[in-house]
Each structure stands twice: as C-alpha cells, then as structure tokens.
A and B are shown apart, each in its own frame.
Chain A
Amino acid sequence: MFLTLLKREVFRYVKNPSVTIGTPILSQILYIIVFGLVLGPRIGSVANHSYISFMLPGLVMMALITNSFMNPGWSLYMARHFDWIDPILSSPMSSTQMVSAYILAGVLRGLLVGTVLIIVALILPGVVAVTHLPFVLIYLVVVAFLGASLGTIVGLWADKFDHIVLAQTFALFPLVFLGGVFYSLEMIEDIYILSILVKFNPVTHMINGLRYGMIGVAELYIPFGLTGLVLLSSALFLVCVWLFRRGYNLRI
C-alpha cells in the first residue's frame, strides 16, 4: 500500500526528468557559474575558502529544500484538484502511510538533485571536497524531510495553483536567500537586525551544517541547529499526519 503510493510519487518525477530534475540542476549550475566562477574571484576568499566553495553548500541546500518542498506540494494539490486523491483516501492505507509516502518521495527527489549538484561541483576546479561525510548525509536527509513536510502542508492548504507559488515566493525564497547562501554571518555583522534574525532562520542552520560537512566551517553551534531541525521536522511530520487524519481539505 505505502510502497505503491511511494512508487507512484517517485515515477511521477522520474518519467519527466527534464522538467522535474533537469531544470533545478541547470538553474543551480548557472548560479555556480555566475556567482562562483565569474564573480567569486572578485569577491575573494570567505572564511579562508574560495567564494565558490563557501557558497556551494548554500546552493545545494537551496535546491534540496525547494525540490523536496515542491514535490509533495504539487502532487497533493493536483491530486486534490482532479480528485484522484479520492481512491487513495478510500483505500485501507492509514494516514501515517499516506503522509510517509508523499514525504519520502519528496525527500528522494531532494536528495537526487542535491547529490547530483554535489557531484557536479566536486568536478569543478578549486572546490573543497566533502570533509565530514556523516554531517553531509545527516543534513541532506533532515533538510529534505523538513522541506517535504512543509510541501505536504502547503499541498493540503492550497486551493489554487497560485497558493503554492505564493508560499514559495513569500515564505521559502526569503528564508533561503536570507539564510546565508551567498554571504557569511561576518559580512552582515553591521546590519544588526538582520544578523539577529538570520540566526533564528532555520535555513541558516541548514546551510551552516552542510557547510561544516563540506568545507569544515561552522559559524553557528552545530548541535543546537541540528537538534532544532530534527525537532522541527518531527513536529511538521506530526502536523501532516494530524491534517490527513482530520481530512483537512481532503474530506468534505
């Protein structure tokens, strides 16, 4: 039951790789070329690393969270909009199984895009290799899980196509761009309010963790960030299960 829904959700993007996987990879590679290879040398080194090495974990996180978010978000919205969620809801599957399938499919898509990006980046000259592999793996999984859980909630909430774009534009993108993808915390020390807010942004902790895993640099306390992210992901998962059980925007 759960495996069939997971298979369906994975097939959904695997059969359209150019749209679902190719597009995000291409856009991130463009960021790498423009910001890393063209502008990077003019910016110089950040935290004793080339700009491209410093920026890359942020770009991977950006792609990872966006893709893991978009997959269940779109899929659930479409399934509700065209009512093909109904046969799933009237199957013997439990709410936990349904939520797990949607989230896991999103996690796998995020990991696929993230892993391809890391491999591409490692081929580039001047990029530091992975220094703490367990941290890289843990952060990739936790962040993908968090993104997919958020996407599941938005997929249930959205009444129209615009709502998903709205959530992405007004919530996800600001958090990602203000989460230190392109700058270090040291660079914004003088902007007091921003430097404080950024520390409360979960995306900053995601990028900080992956940056530690990849280049060994951490600007924030890793155990605190990781614990917070795990707790937040778990809470979001429970919210998803609760919404499914209640039949929020699923049942009349």
Chain B
Amino acid sequence: MLIEQCAYANRWRRVSPAAKALFALSGLVASFAASTPMAAVAVVCLLAAVTWIGAGVPVGRYLRVAAPAFFFLATSCLSLAFSLNLNSDGQALSFQLTPAGLQKVDEVSGRSLGALAALLFLVLTTPLIDLIALLRRLKTPEVLLEIMILCYRMLFVFSDAVHDTLTAQSARLGYATSRLALRSLGGLAANLTVQVWQRAHDLHVAAQARNNDGPLRFLEPTFAHTGRDVALAAAGGSVLIALAVVLS
C-alpha cells in the first residue's frame, strides 16, 4: 500500500500525531470556509506544498494516491455541470450547460480538492497505528478500537493469503476467461471466509493462553516535543484558515 509506505518513510514520521491531526483538521475547516475558487486553490496549494516540501512525500506518489478520487470528482462534476430538463415539450429529455451548474462545479471541486489535500497530508505523514493511539486518547469506544487493532494486524495476513492464492490460481489458468475468473474468485473468497473463523479461533486461544480477556494494549511510541509540535500546528492551521477567510 502506497500510503503506508509514505506514512512510515516520510520526514515527519517522528512529529506528534496530535499536531499532524490538528493541522489536517484546520485544513478541512479551511477548505469548507473557502467560498471562492481563489481561496480554495490557495488552500490546496498550501496543503500540498507542506506535504511535498515539508514532509518530503514524492509528488508522483502523491498524485497516484489521489488519482481514484479525481475520477470520482470528474464523473460527479459532469452531472453537476449539465442540467437535465425533464419538462421540455419537443423532446423527452434535454441536457444543457448552465452557468449556475458551472459555478457549483467550481465551488464543489475547490472544496473537495482542499479536503482531499488535508486528508492526504494526514495519511501520508502518519502511520495508522499512531492514529489509533490518538483515537484511544480521544476516548473512542474500546470495542471499536479493538476491531481497528485486530483489523489492522489481520489485514496484512489476509492480503498475503490473497496474494498466494491468486498466484496459485493464475498459474493454473484460473483467470484465463471471465467465467473462470468468477469461479476462481468465488473459491478464493470462500476459502478466505473459512479462514475468518479459523484465524479468529487461533487468536482467541493465543489470547487465552496469556490470560488476556480485556483490552488489547500495545506499547505506544512516545513523541518528544509534543507541546512544541502542537503549537506549531495550531499556528500553521490558523494561517490556513485565515487565508481561506481573507481570500473568500
């Protein structure tokens, strides 16, 4: 996963997650506060520049992570830009490009890109395990945290199983035609489904063997300079929000 690689390998890996989350939150607020395209572009550029230059995330990788979201934005904006006229007399349906629609596209795409840049800043600089630790400090229900921890740890186990099964099936021409592909995929998913119970049972036995029946706690990394980082993030975030408000 590209995001995971960046999250562990960027320059701001050791910066307090609370500070990074605060800055990302300010980015979200700023992108919702920016009401003109000019302000939105400024917010997007600033957030992207901080991620590229500050955290040292490669630009190519950044754009590859954002690509699927661009696809969603493009198709949705297409339907925002064109207005559908259901009651025209001659034809049953007619489409027209309206100025109001185009204005809406400007507004929505500016806001979406700003919010996306804020999200990417957070996820490309902060590993998920740090974010889960942050959620624990924010008093998230223990049941949800437990599901998250187990989900995160089992994710890679399942990915590995999927990868191995796909390789074995492909080697036997399991994906040669779309009919075979559906059959192979069904077999793969059924196999994984059974593994859900087997692996959960194994984890349960392992936990019982260690007398664990309560929360799953792990050592959490400590971050030096948390206070300084949070102060810097608050200052940066305020600048971002002020910029969005002033330019609007």
Answer whether A and B are interacting partners.
no
